């Protein structure tokens, strides 16, 4: 027999002050107007998006999913059916807001971007790839001035030499007559420690790049809103 889904209540304790009871200057919307969205906490931004009456509700939601990363991954049905005070409408609002944020990053005009460090490359991909539930391999394709020509998804799945095809990694860079590329893949676990297979693949790609006159500038491992540069660690290069 199926067990009914347990409803989690985002209740407001009697001692807790609601947003309306806060001084006007301390209310999230007023703070956003005065100082901009970057000055607000994640809980304050969440309260605005979901139109919550109590900041503690947003804090409870974030705590349950261990931060924004977990909340982004939360299934729509779980958000809509588990939390009293959220409901289907607000759950859809939240998912739509996260998707708009993801698309806004992908929509940045790549021709204006120039890679000067591993962090520059990682920042192009982290927001999107840190939330993925399976591994993906992408390349940031650059010209001779390290200006981004394109961010290309090579394939989805675990990184290993048995399935990796060199032609697939370099194909788009060859088509664009690129000078170099940066390889990146994610670890859904959040642990960015490179595996022996990651290092082996990197070494193969670097050697292939030399034959094709396309420099493999770095291989990044992404996860948990952080990254590791195999080039900086001297692994595979």
pLDDT digits (tens, 9 = 90+) for 129-186: 887 888 899 999 999 999 999 999 998 876 655 467 888 899 999 999 999 999 999 9
Q: What is the pLDDT of residue 97?
A: 87
Q: What is the pLDDT of residue 199?
A: 94
Answer yes or no: do 181 and 225 share one domain.
yes
Answer yes or no: do 96 and 210 share one domain.
no
Residue 150 covered by a domain: yes
Radius of gyration for the chain, computed over Cα atoms and rounded to the nearest angstrom: 22
Question: CB neighbours (10 Å) of residue 125?
Answer: 22
Answer yes or no: do 193 and 211 share one domain.
yes
Alpha-carbon 53 to chain mean position: 28
User: Taking CA 11 as the corner, what is the angle to CA 80 and CA 20, rounded to the nearest 5 degrees?
Assistant: 105
Answer yes or no: do 90 and 114 share one domain.
no
Answer yes or no: do 85 and 55 share one domain.
yes
Closest CA to 56 of 12, 23, 9: 12
Closest CA to 220 of 203, 198, 205: 198
The low-confidence residues of the chain, meaning pLDDT below 50, are: 1-5, 11-14, 162
Single out the residue in 59, 74, 106 at which a domain terminates.
Answer: 106
Return d(Cα 81, Cα 59) in angstroms, integer: 18
Note whether 57 and 64 are within 8 A (CB): no
φ, ψ of residue 221 in degrees (nearest 5):
-110, 125
In terms of residue numbers, what domain contains 81?
A: 8-106
Note whether 69 and 130 are within 8 A (CB): yes
Note whether 53 and 19 are within 8 A (CB): yes
Q: What is the pLDDT of residue 2?
A: 44
User: Taking CA 229 as the corner, what is the angle to CA 219 and CA 138, rounded to the nearest 5 degrees?
Assistant: 35
User: Taking CA 152 as the corner, what is the angle to CA 150 and CA 157, rounded to the nearest 5 degrees?
Assistant: 165
Q: What is the pLDDT of residue 107?
A: 67
């Amino acid at each position: 027999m199926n067990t009914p889904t347990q409803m989690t209540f985002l209740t407001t304790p009697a001692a807790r002050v609601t947003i309306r009871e806060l001084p006007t200057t301390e209310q999230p919307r007023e703070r956003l107007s005065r100082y901009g969205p970057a000055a607000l906490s994640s809980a304050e931004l969440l309260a605005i998006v979901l139109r919550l009456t109590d900041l503690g509700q947003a804090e409870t939601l974030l705590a349950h999913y261990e931060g924004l990363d977990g909340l982004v991954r939360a299934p729509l049905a779980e958000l809509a059916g588990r939390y009293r005070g959220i409901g289907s409408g607000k759950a859809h609002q939240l998912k739509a807001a996260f998707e708009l944020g993801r698309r806004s990053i992908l929509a940045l005009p790549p021709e204006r971007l120039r890679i000067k460090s591993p962090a520059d490359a990682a920042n192009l991909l982290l927001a999107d790839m840190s939330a993925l539930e399976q591994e993906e391999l992408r390349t940031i394709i650059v010209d001779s001035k390290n200006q981004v020509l394109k961010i290309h998804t090579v394939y989805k799945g675990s990184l290993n030499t048995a399935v990796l095809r060199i032609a697939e990694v370099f194909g788009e860079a060859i088509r664009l007559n690129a000078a170099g590329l940066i390889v990146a893949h994610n670890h859904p676990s959040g642990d960015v420690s490179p595996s022996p297979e990651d290092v082996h693949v990197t070494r193969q790609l670097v050697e292939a790049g030399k034959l094709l006159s396309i420099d493999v500038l770095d291989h990044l491992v992404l996860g948990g809103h952080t990254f590791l540069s195999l080039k900086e660690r001297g692994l595979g290069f």
